[in-house]
C-alpha cells in the first residue's frame, strides 16, 4: 500500500489533478518537495491557475521555504498560466533568484502581450547580477517584435552574438520573426539565407516575416522552395501560406480595376494548398480549416467555405466567425441568421466579433427580433463598453426601423465619439427620420465634435430620401466650403440622387462634369432610374451606355432602359447593337 505522502506523485503521473489535490489537503504533515513539484508541473500542463494558487497557499501554510527548484517551478507555473504579476511577486520574494525564474517571468509578460514590462525586467535581472542565457534572449526578441522596438532588438542581437548564442537555430528563428515584425525584412533575410541548416521553425519564421509585411508573393515562392528542399511543412506553415493568399487578395484588389482576376488567381493557389494539406492529413487541424474557411469566404466561394467548415474536428470560434463573415459579405443573410440560431442551440459563448457579424446580417435583413436578442447578449456579457460594437448595434436598430431602442442605447453611453454619433445619425437616416438625423447633425458642435465625410453622407442621404432638395444642396456646399472636405463617390452619388429625384437634370449634368473621377455603376443606375421616372430619355441613354460599359453582363440597366421603349422592334435593335 502506497503511503499518503507518496501517493501525490503517483496520481500526478496518471494526470489525476483533483485527486492529488484532495490528498494534499487531507495530509496532516507537509508532503515532500517532489510532491509539490509534481503538482505544479501537472497544474501547468492543464493551465490550472486556481489550483496553482491552492498549492502555493498550502506551501505557505506549511511554512516550507520557497527556494531552489520549488521557487523556480512556482514562478514558471504562474508565468505560463497567464499570471505574470503573481510570478513577479513570487520571484521577488525568493531569497535566491536564478536565470530560470527570471526568464520564466520575462517570458510570462511577453506571452501576455506586455513586451515593455518584459524589457524593463531584463534591466532588473542584470541589476540582480544574473546573466541572460539563450532562452532569455528568445523571450526578449519576442518582446521587441511585439512592441515594434527595432533599436532595442538590434542592441540585444549584438549582445547575444557576442555571447555566442546566435548560432542556435531557435534563437535565429526568433530573430527572423522579430525583424519581420519590425519592418526590417533585409535583416530577416540576411539571417535566414545565412543559416547553414534550416528547420521547419526557421522556414515558418521567414514565411511569417514576409506575410507580416504584406509580401504574399515572396512568402508563396519561399513555400515552394521549402518543399523543394525536402522540409515537411507543419500545420503552421499552411496557415501562414493561406494568410499569404489573403495578403495578395488585399494588395491585388487595390491594383486592378476589378477584383475578379485577383480572386481567381488566389482561389487557384488556395485550392492547391487545400489539396496539399489534405494529402498530409492536416485538415483535422482547426487552424488550417479556419483559414480555408476565411480564404474561400473572401473569394466569394461560400459553398467551398461551408465544405471546409465541415472538416473541423471541433467547434472553433474563429472558424464560426469566418463562415458568418462569408455569409454576410456575400449577401447570404438568411444563412447567417440560421447559422446563428444553430450556434445558440450549441450553447456557443459569443465574442464581440461574432456578434458584430450577426448584427450586420440583421441590418441587411431587418430582423428586429434577433437584433433585440443580441442587444441583451451585449449587455449581459459586458460588451456594452466596446464602442464599435455598440455603433453596429445602433446602426442595426436604424435598419430595422426601430430607433427608439437605438437612441436609448446611444443616450445611455457614458462617453461617445464621432463614430458613435455617425452611427446614430446614419441609423436615423436609414429609418427615414430626417428631423432626428439632422437634429443630431446640428448638435455635433455642442459636444465639441466636427462632422466628417461619413456624417455628411448620412445627412445627404436623409435629405435625398425625404425630398429636401435645398437643404441637401446646403449641406453639400457646407461640406466643401466650410469644412474643406473633398467629396468621394458616396457623396457625389447622394447629391446626384437628390438632384435626379427632384428632376433638376441641369444641375445633374453640372455635377457630373465637375467630378474629378468617373462615376461608378451605382451612380449611373441611380440616374437611369430617376430618368425613367421623369422621362428624360437623353440622359437615360447616356446613363445606360455608361452602366453597361462598366459592367456589360448586369441586367438592371437593360431592365430599366426597356421601360422607355414600348416598340419591341426598336428595343431589339438597341440590344443587337450592344451584342455586336
Amino acid 259: pLDDT:
58
Mean pLDDT, range 115-129, rounded to an integer:
95
Mean pLDDT, range 327-351, rounded to an integer:
89
Grid cell listed for 81: 498560466
Mean pLDDT, range 52-73, rounded to an integer:
88
Amino acid 3: pLDDT:
59
Mean pLDDT, range 93-119, rounded to an integer:
94
Among 270, 251, 252, residue whose Cα is nearest residue 261? 252
> For 331-347, b where at least 16 C-beta lie within 10 A, e where not — what string?
ebbebbbebbeebeeee
Amino acid 4: pLDDT:
62
Mean pLDDT, range 535-542, rounded to an integer:
86
Mean pLDDT, range 8-17, rounded to an integer:
90
pLDDT range class, residue 1, cuts 50, 70, 90: very low
Please, what is the average pLDDT of the chain? 89
Amino acid 415: pLDDT:
81
Does a structural domain hold residue 522? yes
pLDDT range class, residue 163, cuts 50, 70, 90: very high
Could you read off the pLDDT of 543-558 as tens digits, one per residue? 999 988 888 877 888 8
- Cβ neighbors of 143 (< 8 A, separation 6 or more) are 106, 109, 110, 115, 116, 118, 119, 149
Q: Which residue carries 520549488 as its cell?
A: 70
State the Cα–Cα distance between residues 326 and 499, nearest whole angstrom: 36
3-state secondary structure of 140: helix
Could you read off the pLDDT of 349-387 as tens digits, one per residue? 788 899 999 999 999 999 999 999 999 999 998 898 888
Does a structural domain hold residue 531? yes
Among 358, 327, 353, 352, residue whose Cα is nearest residue 340? 358
Among 165, 179, 182, 176, residue whose Cα is nearest residue 199? 176
State the Cα–Cα distance between residues 453 and 438, nearest whole angstrom: 15
Could you read off the pLDDT of 440-460 as tens digits, one per residue? 998 888 888 999 999 999 999
458 and 426 Cβ atoms separated by less than 8 Å: yes
Task: Look at residue 403 and tell me whether its pLDDT is greater than 80.
Answer: yes
Mean pLDDT, range 458-472, rounded to an integer:
87
Which domain, by its residues, includes 564? 518-580
Amino acid 349: pLDDT:
79
Amino acid 568: pLDDT:
40
Task: Look at residue 96 and tell me whether its pLDDT is greater than 80.
Answer: yes
pLDDT range class, residue 571, cuts 50, 70, 90: very low
Task: Look at residue 426 and tell me whether its pLDDT is greater than 80.
Answer: yes
Would the pTM of this model clear 0.85, i.e. be above it?
A: no
Does a structural domain hold residue 541? yes
**What distances in angstroms separate CA 362 from CA 281, 294, 336, 385, 499, one per listed residue?**
38, 21, 9, 21, 31
Task: Look at residue 540 and tell me whether its pLDDT is greater than 90.
Answer: no
State the Cα–Cα distance between residues 351 and 170, nearest whole angstrom: 35
**What distances in angstroms separate CA 476 from CA 183, 380, 518, 523, one per listed residue?**
41, 41, 19, 17
Amino acid 268: pLDDT:
94
Does a structural domain hold residue 364? no
Amino acid 567: pLDDT:
39
Among 72, 67, 37, 68, residue whose Cα is nearest residue 55? 37
Amino acid 286: pLDDT:
87
Amino acid 573: pLDDT:
54
Amino acid 5: pLDDT:
61
Task: Look at residue 536 and tell me whether its pLDDT is greater than 90.
Answer: no
Instruction: Count up the domains in the chain and report the number.
Output: 1
Q: Which residue carries 435593335 as its cell?
A: 573
End-to-end C-alpha distance for the chain, whole angstroms? 95
Does a structural domain hold residue 538? yes
pLDDT range class, residue 30, cuts 50, 70, 90: confident
CA atoms within 13 A of residue 281's CA, in its CB half-sphere = 0
Does a structural domain hold residue 472? no
Amino acid 322: pLDDT:
87
Among the residue ranges 21-35, 227-241, 496-510, the one predicted with the least confidence is: 21-35
Mean pLDDT, range 88-99, rounded to an integer:
93
Task: Look at residue 52 and tell me whether its pLDDT is greater than 90.
Answer: yes
pLDDT range class, residue 255, cuts 50, 70, 90: low
Does a structural domain hold residue 553? yes
Mean pLDDT, range 25-36, rounded to an integer:
84
299 and 271 Cβ atoms separated by less than 8 Å: no
Amino acid at each position: 500500500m502506497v503511503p499518503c505522502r507518496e501517493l501525490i506523485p503517483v496520481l500526478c503521473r496518471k494526470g489525476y489533478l483533483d485527486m492529488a489535490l484532495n490528498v494534499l489537503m487531507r495530509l496532516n504533515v507537509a508532503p515532500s518537495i517532489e510532491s509539490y513539484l509534481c503538482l505544479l508541473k501537472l497544474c501547468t500542463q492543464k493551465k490550472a491557475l486556481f489550483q496553482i494558487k491552492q498549492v502555493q497557499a498550502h506551501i505557505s501554510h506549511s511554512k516550507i521555504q520557497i527556494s531552489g527548484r520549488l521557487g523556480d517551478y512556482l514562478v514558471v507555473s504562474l508565468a505560463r498560466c497567464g499570471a505574470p504579476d503573481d510570478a513577479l511577486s513570487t520571484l521577488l520574494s525568493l531569497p535566491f533568484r536564478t536565470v530560470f525564474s527570471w526568464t520564466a517571468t520575462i517570458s510570462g509578460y511577453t506571452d501576455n502581450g506586455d513586451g515593455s514590462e518584459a524589457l524593463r525586467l531584463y534591466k532588473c535581472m542584470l541589476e540582480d547580477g544574473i546573466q541572460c542565457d539563450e532562452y532569455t534572449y528568445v523571450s526578449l526578441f519576442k518582446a521587441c517584435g511585439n512592441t515594434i522596438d527595432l533599436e532595442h532588438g538590434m542592441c540585444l542581437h549584438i549582445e547575444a552574438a557576442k555571447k555566442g548564442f546566435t548560432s542556435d537555430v531557435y534563437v535565429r528563428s526568433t530573430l527572423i520573426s522579430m525583424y519581420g515584425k519590425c519592418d526590417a525584412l533585409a535583416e530577416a533575410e540576411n539571417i535566414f539565407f545565412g543559416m547553414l541548416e534550416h528547420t521547419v521553425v526557421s522556414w515558418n519564421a521567414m514565411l511569417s516575416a514576409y506575410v507580416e509585411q504584406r509580401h504574399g508573393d515572396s512568402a508563396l515562392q519561399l513555400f515552394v522552395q521549402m518543399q523543394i528542399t525536402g522540409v515537411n511543412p507543419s500545420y503552421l506553415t499552411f496557415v501562414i501560406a493561406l494568410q499569404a493568399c489573403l495578403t495578395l487578395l488585399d494588395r491585388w484588389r487595390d491594383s486592378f480595376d476589378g477584383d475578379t482576376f485577383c480572386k481567381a488567381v488566389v482561389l487557384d493557389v488556395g485550392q492547391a494548398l487545400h489539396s496539399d494539406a489534405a494529402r498530409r492529413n492536416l485538415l483535422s487541424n482547426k487552424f488550417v480549416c479556419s483559414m480555408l474557411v476565411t480564404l474561400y469566404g473572401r473569394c466569394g466561394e461560400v459553398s467551398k467555405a461551408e465544405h471546409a467548415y465541415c472538416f473541423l474536428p471541433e467547434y472553433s470560434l474563429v472558424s464560426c466567425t469566418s463562415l458568418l463573415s462569408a455569409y454576410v459579405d456575400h449577401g447570404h443573410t438568411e444563412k447567417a441568421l440560421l447559422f446563428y440560431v444553430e450556434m445558440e442551440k450549441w450553447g456557443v459563448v459569443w465574442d464581440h466579433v461574432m456578434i458584430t457579424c450577426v448584427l450586420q446580417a440583421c441590418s441587411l435583413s431587418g430582423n428586429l427580433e434577433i437584433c433585440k436578442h443580441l442587444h441583451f447578449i451585449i449587455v449581459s456579457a459586458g460588451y456594452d463598453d466596446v464602442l464599435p460594437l455598440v455603433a453596429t448595434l445602433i446602426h442595426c436598430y436604424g435598419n430595422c426601423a426601430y430607433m427608439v431602442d437605438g437612441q436609448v442605447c446611444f443616450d445611455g453611453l457614458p462617453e461617445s465619439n464621432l463614430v458613435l454619433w455617425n452611427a446614430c445619425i446614419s441609423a436615423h437616416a436609414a429609418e427615414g427620420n430626417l428631423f432626428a438625423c439632422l437634429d443630431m447633425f446640428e448638435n455635433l458642435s455642442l459636444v465639441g465634435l466636427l462632422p466628417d465625410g461619413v456624417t455628411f453622407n448620412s445627412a445627404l442621404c436623409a435629405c435625398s430620401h425625404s425630398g429636401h432638395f435645398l437643404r441637401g444642396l446646403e449641406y453639400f456646399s457646407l461640406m466643401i466650403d466650410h469644412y474643406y472636405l473633398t467629396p468621394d463617390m458616396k457623396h457625389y452619388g447622394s447629391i446626384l440622387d437628390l438632384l435626379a429625384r427632384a428632376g433638376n437634370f441641369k444641375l445633374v449634368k453640372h455635377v457630373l462634369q465637375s467630378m474629378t473621377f468617373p462615376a461608378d455603376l451605382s451612380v449611373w443606375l441611380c440616374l437611369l432610374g430617376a430618368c425613367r421616372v421623369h422621362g428624360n430619355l437623353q440622359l437615360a441613354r447616356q446613363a445606360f451606355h455608361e452602366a453597361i460599359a462598366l459592367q456589360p453582363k448586369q441586367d438592371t440597366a437593360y431592365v430599366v432602359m426597356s421601360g422607355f421603349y414600348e416598340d419591341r422592334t426598336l428595343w431589339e435593335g438597341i440590344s443587337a447593337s450592344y451584342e455586336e
